[in-house]
Every structure is written in C-alpha cells, then in structure tokens.
C-alpha cells in the first residue's frame, strides 16, 4: 500500500551546517466532561426553601500539553552518532571518513536501556547519549532488528527515569499525540510538535524494507526525530517516530507499541529478536482490493509472495492465496495475522486456513524462527 508515497526514514542531521542527510529516511481525544450536579451548597435559601447547588469545578482527565512534555522530557535523550565509511578517490585512493549524525532515543528501563531506530545507529563506531540534564555518556549496542527498524542501546548507571508505554491499540483516528525529539539537532533541548492520529495500522515501504502497524500522524517529524517518542495525552509512549513522507504534507509515521514492546523485550532477553515466522509477504484484503482483484472474500490477508523453503512454502501456501485463519484465530488483516503467529512459539505446528480459487483449504504449518537477514 502507499505506493504513491516516497517515504523518507529520517536518518541523520549534520550538526555543523544543519543540513540533513536523508536516506531511508492510551491516547483518547479530549472529551467533554460532565458538570457535577451535586456539590457544595451556598447558605442562602429562596422563598420556596430550595437550596442553590454550586457545580464542582470542571476537571479534565487529561494533562496540559506542557505537563505531558515535562513528564516525558527526562526519558528523552539525544544521540550523537559517528560512523566510519570508506571513501575512494581517483587521485588520493581510499580513506576512512567519519560522518556525524543525530537522532533520538527513549529510556525504557532504570538500568539505562534505550530504544531508538536501527537506521540511527546502523554502522555506528561511537554513540554519545545526551541526557535531559545535558550530561553526556557513551552508549553500547545491546541488539538491533533491521526488519522493524528498532534497536536497543545501553548507558552505564542506574536509577534513570523511564518511559511508560501505553497501548497503541487504544488509539483512535483523531486522537491528539505529541512528538518529541532531537529535530535538526538544534541547541536547547528536544523539539516538541503536536498533531493528531491520521490513520492506524499503515503498511509503509521504505528503502530499508516494509514496516507494519505504523501510526500515521501530522505531528511534524523532522530529521533527528528518529527514535523519539510519540506520546498520548496521558504521557504514555504509544510509538517510536520513524519516517516521514517526502511527497505529502503533514504525513509522518511512528512504529506502534504493538511492535515496539515485544521487539525490545526480545532484544533485551536474547540479544536479538526471536519471533515465529511464516515466510510470506502479505497485504490486507479490503472491500476495494477484493473488488479490484475479483476476490471471493472482502477481508483477509493476501499472500503476495512466498519465501523459498520457508514454512509457508513447505506447507504448500502459494502466492495469491488468501489467509483467513490461523489455528483458532480469525484473520481479517495483517495485524491479526501477526498476533496469531506470535501467539505460538518457534517450532509449533498449527493449521492455516486459506482461500484458493474460491474454495477453503486447510494446511499445516510448522513455524520457524525468523531469519536474522530476512
């Protein structure tokens, strides 16, 4: 989907010139609060002996944006990243050149664990973390996952403030969100932008691959924001800012906590991501695509391609099959397929219900570990 978009994953911002290199580049909206019908009473009594009730002061269940920013700032860090690349010239030959870039991270554990984007730290020879009090410390890589464009780094110490993750499943289109990050590597601390959720569960394609379960927002996301938090009005992190559109206005994307939380948990536990893998490239079936492709179902997951010698291929699943169930799970979209597959462990055998040539077919699949280079 989104084939008309050129997506830019926000990579680095060259600090000396503020020129940006681009390559691959909870919350509920405020609702009216009912005025209480009971409360303190005044002492004056009318002729008919009725007591006048004074309504309670109206209170919002949401924090002011400035209060949310105050909550989130201690867990947002700026990253200064150095990468070494080999540059060859006809006259002087090949030499190693240092490149300096900027990104953002979010502390999610008191021991100094930080989540950021993989493309921010990919190939880094040195990562310097600047905390909210401007104290700087060097970080080391814990693990990374190019498939989801997420990585975990660690800084020495303990007792750090940590972010609270909210459920992205509770987000609704139109909810307010706040993006915080090291935009353009400007001096003076993180930049704060505000917008709404424009869409949920986007599937976007970048130069680094296809990303699923993305939150679309019009909160401005600029170079340097990568790896920073997308926050709801309760101060919870609901996404990690990852990419923006190079063609559209006000279209940015954050990786939802539906993906972020299990990925960082697996990295911390295993040093890498261990997920059960089906071995298919897929897309949502919608009523529109069903009409365009003359499909027999209006909801499901269309198999675009099958990985050679992968679990699906071994089970006989083919391109253009439509997955409508896994085990006991009904599957109507890619997200539900992911949830179903994740519910089983590596090596688990389960049934997959597919629609092929307008007929149901049940196959047995033995789930394997997702290859690290996939």
Q: Is the dihedral of CA 33, 39, 42, 45 positive or negative?
A: positive
Q: Give the integer Cα–Cα distance in Å for 200 and 174.
A: 10
With 0-12 / 13-18 / 19 or more C-beta atoms within 10 angstroms meaning exposed / middle / buried, residue 309 is exposed
Please tell me the total number of residues recorded for the chain in this structure: 374
C-alpha dist (Å) from residue 65 to 30, 140, 163, 231: 12, 33, 16, 10
Question: Is 355:296 a contact under the CB 8 Å cutoff?
Answer: yes
List beta partners, residue 330: 325
Strands 19-22 and 7-14: antiparallel
CA atoms of 88 and 97, how far apart (whole Å): 10
Question: Which residue out of 78, 119, 168, 218 is catalytically annotated?
Answer: 119
Q: Could you say which of 145, 149, 175, 284 is catalytic?
A: 149
Query: Cβ(99)–Cβ(12) under 8 Å?
Result: yes
Q: Are 178 and 69 in contact (CB under 8 A)?
A: yes
State yes or no: is 100 an active-site residue.
no
Q: What is the Cα gyration radius of the chain? A: 24
CA distance 101 to 184: 10
**Is 201 in the active site?**
no
Catalytic residue among 27, 78, 168, 226: 226
* Catalytic residue annotation: 119, 149, 226
């Amino acid at each position: 989907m989104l084939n008309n978009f050129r997506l830019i994953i926000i990579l680095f911002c060259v600090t000396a010139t503020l020129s940006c290199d681009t390559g691959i580049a909870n919350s509920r909206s405020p609702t009216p609060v009912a005025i209480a019908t009971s409360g303190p009473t005044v002492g004056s009594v009318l002729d008919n002996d009725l007591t006048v009730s004074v309504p309670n002061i109206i209170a919002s269940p949401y924090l002011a944006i400035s209060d949310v920013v105050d909550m989130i700032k201690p867990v947002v860090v700026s990253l200064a990243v150095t990468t070494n690349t080999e540059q060859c010239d006809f006259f002087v030959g090949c030499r190693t050149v240092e490149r300096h870039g900027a990104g953002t991270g979010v502390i999610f554990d008191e021991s100094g664990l930080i989540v950021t984007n993989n493309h921010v730290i990919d190939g880094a020879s040195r990562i310097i973390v600047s905390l909210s009090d401007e104290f700087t410390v060097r970080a080391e890589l814990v693990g990374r996952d190019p498939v989801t464009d997420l990585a975990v780094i660690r800084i020495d110490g303990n007792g750090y403030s940590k972010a609270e993750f909210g459920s992205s499943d509770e987000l609704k289109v139109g909810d307010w969100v706040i993006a915080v990050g090291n935009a353009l590597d400007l001096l003076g601390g993180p930049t704060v932008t505000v917008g709404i959720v424009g869409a949920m569960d986007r599937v976007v394609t970048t130069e680094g691959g296809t990303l699923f379960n993305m939150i679309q927002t019009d909160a401005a996301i600029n170079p340097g924001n990568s790896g920073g938090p997308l926050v709801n009005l309760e101060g919870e992190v609901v996404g990690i800012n990852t990419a923006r559109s190079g063609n559209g206005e006000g279209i940015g994307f954050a990786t939802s906590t539906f993906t972020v939380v299990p990925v960082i948990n697996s990295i911390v536990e295993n040093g890498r991501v261990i997920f059960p893998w089906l071995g298919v490239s897929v897309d949502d079936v919608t009523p529109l695509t069903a009409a365009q492709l003359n499909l027999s179902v209006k909801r499901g997951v269309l198999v675009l391609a099958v990985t050679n010698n992968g679990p699906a291929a071994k089970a006989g699943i083919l391109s253009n099959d439509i997955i409508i169930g896994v085990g006991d799970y009904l599957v109507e979209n890619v997200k539900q397929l992911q949830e179903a597959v994740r519910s089983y462990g590596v090596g688990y055998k389960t049934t997959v219900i597919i629609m092929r040539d307008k007929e149901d077919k049940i196959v047995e699949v033995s789930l394997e570990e997702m290859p690290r280079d996939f």
